[in-house]
Amino acid sequence: MTPTTEPRGLQRFAVLTAVATLFLISVGGMVTSHGAGMAVPDWPNTYGYNMFFFPFSSWIGGIFYEHSHRLAGSFVGLLTLIQAAWFYGKRSRPVLKWIGAALLLGGIVVALTSPKQWQDAVVIHASGAVALAAGFFWPRSEPQPLWLRRLALLALGLVILQGVLGGLRVTLFKDEIGIFHATLAQLFFVLAGALALFTSRTWRRTGEEAKPCPHATNLRSLYAAVSALVLVQLILGATMRHQHAGLAVPDFPLAYGKLWPATDAAAVAGYNRARLETTAMNDITSTQIVVHMAHRLTAVAVALAIGACWWLTRRKLAAGHPLRRATCLWLALVLAQFTLGAWTVWSNKAADVATLHVVIGALTLLTGAMLTLLAFRCLPRFRELPEALQISPQSQRI
Amino acid sequence: MRTLSVILTATTLAAALPATFAGDITGKITLKGTPPANPEVKDLAADVNCGKLVTEKVFMPFYVVGSGGELADVFVTIKDMSGKSTGASAEPAVIDQKGCQYHPYVSAMQTKQTLLVKNSDPLLHNVNITPTPGSGNKPANQAQLQGGPDLKFTFDAPEKFMRFKCDVHGWMFAYVCVVDHPFFAVSGKDGTFKIKDVPLGKYTIEATHRKAGTVTKEVEVKDGAANLDLTFEVK
């Protein structure tokens, strides 16, 4: 009889990957909050060292944040790789063997052609040895359904893309890449959370216990739309942060003492002259002020929208319904996020406050996305979807 | 004998020619009004490594003002002058990183002139140059280890207040003004400046301070010299 992997083990690993991703987002937030994104001028190495050999004594100042972020990114990449292999079960064995052999060969090539890069050769060799060994000892479990396997591969592709984007942001001196890097981080976090959800007992149980609901379509659409609005808000926030101009508007709830600040050239020049920054910041521009104000207005819209979700869910769904609890959490998160946003301004963008604002923003997006997925799962119209979308321990296609 | 006299006269005239057809523009820059207090760089004192190098309190040098209102770090140049760079043959300009601070805070150089960035600290910095987008100068970001060689840079395009910063130590930043002619100066702590060997004629002098703004004034260089005082005002 073919041994199968304990499903709960995979689900717990998916949760671990999602939690590690949140930690990675927080470390990345600290990098931007401390203005340390360029503290390590080279990539993928660190001051000439292979990143795993960089001496701890040199983790000083901004290097500590940027280097920690790179290591955390590598760790999340490793978890995502293991997760993908786990989803593929016994089919991962030959792939791991081939990858291992290729890396071992690659390590030899690097060692012979570039002796000075012996650190890189060691890392490549060690990775190859681990992959090759894993290929022989990987559990012979049955693969997960095709759609789950594809999502796991998508996650692997995205985390690799994230690493490359982070590196290109440094080597190409492009702040715009930082905005995309930050946005993709949020989307990856949602995907990681979704994989944890899809492999959970909660997912299985909500599908089995689904009851007819006349408000299904409205609620599902509402959750999806509000989650999309949260994503827009996060993109605005990422755009603000990756302009590296500090606080474009230094007061709250007013803006330079007004409901809407002046944005003409003379006024903006005055804002820059009056600002006495103690860290290197780009000059404030009128565009940044407009984006900042858009972020404030969208925050109000998001808070009201999530409040509407909470209220409508309480009205439409019976007491004890899991979605009611989820909307309560969503509302609590957005209220905390609103407070943190104000606090970020009042604290003159203190690094820890601004970073916590990023983290709660990520959790707000994740909660909305999970709520949306659960709504599609436990409200009856989901049952009209093809059987292949329902989780099963058996693989669906060869 | 007569030939020798002619030669001596010609030599004397040739030596006097530059002084006759060029002069120095000198002056003093003052600040009127009370500027905001320079903020203290608390992160420097709190840094494990930099805090050991500097024991006194450090303040951001936004306004360096003498007891008589003398204003330092004002970039002074001739407005609308261009295309006369002698940077390729000029002595290198120098910026130093010492005590986890850039010295000087504001400096100036010509296009094609070499800029040397030194690291006099017993720890590493990175030198991140962030030109204004569209200026024509290229960004750069180089590591500079303790005891490492001086970094060399040249710039092809004029630019005011191009920023240099260290991302390892976020409070470290300085500005370099690049012009494509040799007629510029940066005022010292006594507020004085000197622009040397300016050809005779009328000019508009432009003086820019990072926070106090820009002041312009007409000047005429004649009889080998010109003097003008400039006043900035903060309200």
Contact criterion met (CB below 8 Å) for B95 and B174 = yes
Neighbours of B184 (CB within 10 A): 20
pLDDT of residue B199: 92
pLDDT band at B61 (very low <50, low <70, confident <90, very high): very high
> What would the mean pLDDT of A139-164 be, rounded to a whole number?
96
Mutation to test the A interface, candidates B49, B119, B168, B176, most A Cβ within 10 Å: B168
Percent of chain A with pLDDT over 90: 83
> What would the mean pLDDT of B166-187 be, rounded to a whole number?
97
pLDDT band at A95 (very low <50, low <70, confident <90, very high): very high
In chain B, which residues have their Cβ closer than 8 Å to the Cβ of A42? 143
Describe the crossing of helices A146-171 and A61-88 by its angle, rounded to 10 degrees. Answer: 160
Q: Which two tokens mark B147?
A: 């005891």
> What would the mean pLDDT of A324-338 be, rounded to a whole number?
97
Asked if A60 lies within 8 A of B48 by C-beta distance, the reply is: yes
Residue of A199, A53, A197, A57 whose CA lies nearest to A126: A53
A398 touches chain B (CB under 8 A): no
Asked if B173 lies within 8 A of A280 by C-beta distance, the reply is: yes
CA distances from A54 to A57, A71, A247, B127 (A): 9, 11, 33, 19
pLDDT of residue A380: 63
Describe the crossing of helices A216-241 and A351-378 by its angle, rounded to 10 degrees. Answer: 160
DSSP letter assigned to residue A116: G
Whose tokens are 């001496």? That residue is A55
Asked if B170 lies within 8 A of A47 by C-beta distance, the reply is: no
A349 touches chain B (CB under 8 A): no
Indicate whether A21 pLDDT > 70.
Answer: yes
Highest mean pLDDT among A6-10, A380-384, B83-87: B83-87
In chain A, which residues have their Cβ closer than 8 Å to the Cβ of B212? 273
Amino acid at B13: L
Burial A274-301 (b: 16+ CB within 10 A, else e): ebebbbbbbbbbbebbebbbebbebbee
DSSP letter assigned to residue A172: T
Spatial distance between the Cα atoms of A249 and A289, rounded to a whole number of angstroms: 6
Indicate whether B1 pLDDT > 80.
Answer: no
Asked if B172 lies within 8 A of A37 by C-beta distance, the reply is: no
For residue range A168-177, list pLDDT tens digits in order.
999 999 989 9
Asked if A41 lies within 8 A of B42 by C-beta distance, the reply is: no
pLDDT band at A245 (very low <50, low <70, confident <90, very high): confident
In chain A, which residues have their Cβ closer than 8 Å to the Cβ of B168? 36, 39, 60-63
The reply to whether ipTM tops 0.85 is yes
Out of A188-202, A317-331, B117-131, pick the least confident. A317-331
Q: How far is A266 from chain B (nearest CA, A)?
A: 11
- The more confident residue out of A5 and B190 is B190
Spatial distance between the Cα atoms of B24 and B201, rounded to a whole number of angstroms: 12
Least CB-CB distance to A36: which of B38, B163, B167? B167
pLDDT of residue A270: 94
Asked if B213 lies within 8 A of A273 by C-beta distance, the reply is: yes
In chain B, which residues have their Cβ closer than 8 Å to the Cβ of A60? 47-49, 123-124, 168
pLDDT of residue A396: 40
pLDDT band at A217 (very low <50, low <70, confident <90, very high): confident
pLDDT of residue A326: 94
In chain A, which residues have their Cβ closer than 8 Å to the Cβ of B62? 276
Contact criterion met (CB below 8 Å) for A53 and A114 = no
* Residue B177 β-bridge partners: B108
Q: How far is B82 from chain A (nearest CA, A)?
A: 25
Q: Which two tokens mark A38?
A: 């360029």
Spatial distance between the Cα atoms of A344 and A100, rounded to a whole number of angstroms: 47
Mutation to test the B interface, candidates A38, A42, A282, A349, most B Cβ within 10 Å: A38
CA distances from B148 to A38, A106, B28, B43, B122 (A): 19, 33, 38, 25, 10
Asked if B168 lies within 8 A of A277 by C-beta distance, the reply is: no
Chain A, chain B: beta-carbon pairs less than 8 Å apart:
80
A62 touches chain B (CB under 8 A): yes
Dihedral sign from CA coordinates of B11, B13, B18, B24: positive
pLDDT of residue A318: 86
pLDDT of residue B9: 66
pLDDT of residue B222: 87
CA distances from A296 to A240, A256, A271, A342, A354 (A): 11, 14, 19, 9, 15
A41 touches chain B (CB under 8 A): yes
Spatial distance between the Cα atoms of A148 and A314, rounded to a whole number of angstroms: 32
pLDDT of residue B116: 97
A34 touches chain B (CB under 8 A): yes
> What would the mean pLDDT of A227-241 be, rounded to a whole number?
97
CATH pick for B1-81+184-235 out of 3.30.465.10, 1.20.1250.20, 2.60.40.10, 3.40.50.1370: 2.60.40.10
- Please state, rounded to an integer, the average pLDDT across all residues of chain B: 92
A63 touches chain B (CB under 8 A): yes
Q: Which residues of B touch A (CB under 8 A)?
A: 36, 38-43, 47-50, 60, 62, 123-124, 126, 128, 130, 139, 141-143, 145, 163, 165, 167-173, 210-213
pLDDT of residue A155: 98
Asked if A41 lies within 8 A of B128 by C-beta distance, the reply is: yes
Contact criterion met (CB below 8 Å) for B150 and B52 = no
> What would the mean pLDDT of B106-114 be, rounded to a whole number?
97
pLDDT of residue A204: 85
Residue of B115, B113, B139 whose CA lies nearest to B128: B139
pLDDT of residue B3: 74
Instruction: Give residues with Cβ within 8 angstroms of A123, minimum separation 6.
Output: A50, A52, A53
Asked if B170 lies within 8 A of A48 by C-beta distance, the reply is: no
Domain B85-182 has CATH 3.40.50.150: no
pTM of the prediction?
Answer: 0.90
Q: Which two tokens mark B155?
A: 């710039």
Amino acid at A136: F
> What would the mean pLDDT of A101-115 be, rounded to a whole number?
95
Indicate whether B13 pLDDT > 80.
Answer: no
pLDDT of residue A1: 34
CA distances from A271 to A7, A31, A267, A293, B94 (A): 58, 26, 6, 15, 31
pLDDT band at A386 (very low <50, low <70, confident <90, very high): low
* Residue B95 β-bridge partners: B117
Asked if A36 lies within 8 A of B124 by C-beta distance, the reply is: no
Spatial distance between the Cα atoms of A136 and A373, rounded to a whole number of angstroms: 37
Indicate whether B5 pLDDT > 90.
Answer: no
A148 touches chain B (CB under 8 A): no
pLDDT of residue A124: 96
- Please state, rounded to an integer, the average pLDDT across all residues of chain A: 91
pLDDT of residue A205: 82
Q: How far is A172 from chain B (nearest CA, A)?
A: 9
- Pair type for strands B159-165 and B125-130: antiparallel
Q: How far is A165 from chain B (nearest CA, A)?
A: 18
Question: In chain B, where are the structural domains located?
Answer: 1-81+184-235, 85-182
For residue range B187-212, list pLDDT tens digits in order.
999 999 999 999 999 999 999 999 99
In chain A, which residues have their Cβ closer than 8 Å to the Cβ of B36? 274, 276
pLDDT of residue A102: 97
Spatial distance between the Cα atoms of A7 and B163, rounded to a whole number of angstroms: 55
Out of A23-32, A214-223, A374-383, pick the least confident. A374-383
Asked if A39 lies within 8 A of B126 by C-beta distance, the reply is: yes
Percent of chain B with pLDDT over 90: 84
Q: How far is B117 from chain A (nearest CA, A)?
A: 16
Give the CB-side neighbour count of residue A348, counting CA atoms within 13 A. 6
> What would the mean pLDDT of A53-67 be, rounded to a whole number?
96
Indicate whether B225 pLDDT > 70.
Answer: yes
Mutation to test the A interface, candidates B60, B145, B167, B208, most A Cβ within 10 Å: B167
A42 touches chain B (CB under 8 A): yes
pLDDT of residue B223: 81
> What would the mean pLDDT of A144-155 be, rounded to a whole number?
96
